[in-house]
């Protein structure tokens, strides 16, 4: 599977022009066609999109980003398309130049956050269609070079930023020294297997120590795999099902090798959606284990009485809803119950929950260097939400969101710490399990 993914990446770097165009317009299948036909051009998706709101640019209207797909559908697959072509009424072919120009719209100015989908009166999954369009763009060689390189690194090293096992092993050793607790590695038959993201490993390694304290307190057996530990799935972000499946298969193989009952998805939105919702379809088979996001597990432990909390953070805290967890994944209440358990002054942002604005970096945008200026501009919508709460600290359950939020907060010269929900819960364990 990995070799197939490598061949896909290699062909995407230097395909011929005919094949590039053909692959890039071949994504308008039956379901996509129904949705493209359903659009009534009401424009509500424009106001839902933070890229459009902050720029006022009509080209950032979500449904407009699908124009090449729509043209291809109307020319090749729409009712009477053959007759229209014969009579000269069909739209012209999508050109290579158009696809190059549309790369920015489909990648740089879309987080796949689904806020446009939420407001569409016709029920069109615009974010899903953008994802489908990205698959065509990636197959045709039009994905951003930054994402293609990240995918290559992930296939070669196991991580999109090149984090290998020795780096994780060192972070584990440091956290064991910090907490005085053992972090189990490659333990066969453990109840839970935890996978991590490179952002957590290198940017927020204290999450590993927090997990050690939480599992010890809950009396649960757990392990981290030395191979297949990376949860980030850049294949989903760039739009390559082959790459996505190859990366996902490493986690599944690790879980099956270690014979665990449950795989814990980390604080990462797209890692969660790839592993929980898309994985069986990508691999073509059912899992032999349960997949649970870490916030769901912590909430479960608290409700079962396995995690006992004591004390509360006195600061005014607010929770940022990661799009793939909350709007697309439905994990809305668990983080809030956890916040109530550890915060004496938790406040909601205006428009929180499923309607909340994205941090601006999801969908691979944070990895695209050319998109940085647009990403910081889009953060204005989230900035307004946060400032309306008067919060003294911001909490989230996604490492990528946390990293992007910290960068944007620094860019805007704001003073606002960003906390990980898992670490916050670990901080208020009753007697730390002793």
Of 241, 273, 303, the last residue of a domain is 303
DSSP characters over 226-251: SSS-B---HHHHHT-HHHHHHHHHHH
Question: Does residue 292 surpass a pLDDT of 60?
Answer: yes
Answer whether 404's CB lies under 8 Å from 366's CB. Answer: yes
CA 6 to chain centre: 22
Answer whether 135's CB lies under 8 Å from 29's CB. Answer: no
The answer to the question of residue 150 being in a domain is no
Answer whether 371's CB lies under 8 Å from 365's CB. Answer: yes
CATH of the domain at 346: 3.40.50
Answer whether 44's CB lies under 8 Å from 121's CB. Answer: yes
Arithmetic mean of pLDDT, 41-58: 96
Domain check: are 173 and 281 in the same one?
yes
Answer whether 172's CB lies under 8 Å from 387's CB. Answer: no
The lowest-confidence range among 66-70, 120-124, 327-331, 338-342 is 66-70
Q: Tell me which residue of 234, 424, 260 sits closest to 346, measured CA to CA.
A: 424
Q: How many structural domains compose the chain?
A: 3
Domain check: are 18 and 113 in the same one?
yes
Question: Does residue 112 surpass a pLDDT of 80?
Answer: yes
Confidence of residue 17 (pLDDT cuts 50, 70, 90): very low
The answer to the question of residue 7 being in a domain is yes
Domain check: are 285 and 246 in the same one?
yes
What burial class does residue 3 get, using C-beta atoms within 10 Å of its C-beta: 0-12 exposed, 13-18 middle, 19+ buried? exposed
Confidence of residue 5 (pLDDT cuts 50, 70, 90): low
Domain check: are 164 and 123 in the same one?
no
Domain check: are 278 and 362 in the same one?
no
* pLDDT at site 24: 44
Domain check: are 227 and 290 in the same one?
yes
Domain check: are 109 and 196 in the same one?
no
Domain check: are 291 and 164 in the same one?
yes
Arithmetic mean of pLDDT, 129-133: 94
Query: Pairing mode, if any, of strands 290-293 and 346-347?
Result: unpaired
CA 322 to each of CA 14, 115, 238: distance values in angstroms, whole numbers, following the listed order: 35, 12, 19
Arithmetic mean of pLDDT, 135-153: 94
* pLDDT at site 8: 62
Domain range enclosing 91 = 2-143
The answer to the question of residue 149 being in a domain is no
Domain check: are 87 and 176 in the same one?
no
The answer to the question of residue 296 being in a domain is yes
CA 363 to each of CA 163, 249, 286: distance values in angstroms, whole numbers, following the listed order: 20, 20, 25
Answer whether 225's CB lies under 8 Å from 193's CB. Answer: yes
Question: Does residue 170 surpass a pLDDT of 60?
Answer: yes
CATH of the domain at 167: 1.20.1050
Question: Does residue 19 surpass a pLDDT of 70?
Answer: no
Domain check: are 165 and 290 in the same one?
yes
Question: Does residue 325 surpass a pLDDT of 80?
Answer: yes
Angle between helices 126-140 and 67-76 in degrees, nearest 10: 80
Contacts 24+ apart (CB under 8 A), 90-94: 93/21, 94/21, 94/24, 94/25, 94/68
Of 85, 117, 143, the last residue of a domain is 143
- Rounded Cα distance between 280 and 257, Å, is 17
Exposure string over 29-51, b if 16+ CB within 10 A, otherwise e: eeebbebbeebeeeebbbebbbb
- Rounded Cα distance between 250 and 233, Å, is 11
Of 303, 326, 345, the last residue of a domain is 303
CA 6 to each of CA 145, 154, 158, 227, 395: distance values in angstroms, whole numbers, following the listed order: 15, 10, 13, 19, 38
Domain check: are 255 and 347 in the same one?
no
CA 203 to chain centre: 17
The answer to the question of residue 36 being in a domain is yes
Torsion of Cα atoms, 295 then 298 then 304 then 305, to 10°: -150
């Amino acid at each position: 599977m990995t070799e197939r993914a490598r061949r896909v990446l290699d062909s995407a770097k230097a395909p011929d022009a005919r094949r590039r165009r053909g692959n890039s317009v071949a994504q308008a299948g039956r379901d996509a066609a129904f949705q493209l036909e359903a659009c009534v051009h009401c424009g509500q998706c424009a106001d839902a999109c933070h890229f459009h709101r902050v720029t006022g640019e009509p080209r950032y209207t979500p449904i407009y980003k699908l124009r090449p797909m729509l043209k291809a559908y109307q020319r090749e697959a729409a009712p009477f398309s053959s007759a229209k072509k014969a009579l000269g009424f069909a739209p012209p072919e999508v050109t290579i130049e158009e696809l190059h120009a549309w790369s920015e719209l489909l990648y740089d100015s879309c987080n796949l956050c689904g806020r446009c989908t939420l407001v569409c009166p016709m029920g069109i999954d615009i974010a899903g269609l953008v994802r489908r369009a990205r698959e065509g763009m990636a197959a045709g060689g039009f994905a951003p070079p930054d994402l293609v390189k990240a995918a290559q690194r992930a296939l070669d090293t196991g991580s999109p930023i090149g984090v290998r096992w020795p780096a994780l092993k060192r972070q584990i050793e440091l956290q064991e020294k910090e907490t005085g607790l053992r972090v189990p590695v490659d333990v066969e038959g453990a109840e839970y297997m935890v996978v991590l993201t490179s952002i957590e490993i290198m940017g927020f390694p204290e999450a590993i120590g927090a997990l050690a304290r939480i599992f010890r307190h809950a009396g649960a057996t757990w392990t981290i795999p030395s191979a297949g530990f990376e949860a980030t799935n850049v294949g989903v972000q760039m739009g390559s099902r082959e790459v996505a499946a190859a990366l996902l298969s490493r986690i599944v193989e690790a879980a099956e090798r270690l014979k665990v009952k449950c795989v814990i998805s980390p604080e990462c939105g797209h890692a969660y959606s790839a592993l929980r919702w898309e994985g069986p379809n990508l691999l073509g088979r059912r899992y032999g284990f349960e997949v649970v996001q870490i916030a769901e597990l912590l909430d479960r432990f608290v409700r079962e009485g396995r995690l006992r909390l004591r004390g509360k953070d006195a600061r005014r805290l607010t929770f940022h809803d990661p799009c793939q967890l909350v709007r697309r994944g439905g994990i809305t209440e668990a983080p809030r119950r956890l916040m109530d358990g550890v915060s004496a002054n938790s406040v909601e942002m205006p428009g929180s929950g499923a309607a909340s604005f994205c941090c601006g970096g999801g969908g691979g945008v944070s990895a695209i260097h050319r998109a940085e200026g647009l990403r910081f501009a889009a953060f204005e919508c989230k900035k307004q939400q946060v400032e309306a709460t008067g919060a003294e600290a911001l909490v989230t359950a996604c490492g990528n969101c946390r990293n992007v939020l910290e960068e944007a907060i620094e860019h805007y010269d704001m003073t606002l710490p960003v906390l990980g929900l898992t670490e916050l819960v670990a901080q208020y364990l009753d007697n730390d399990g002793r």
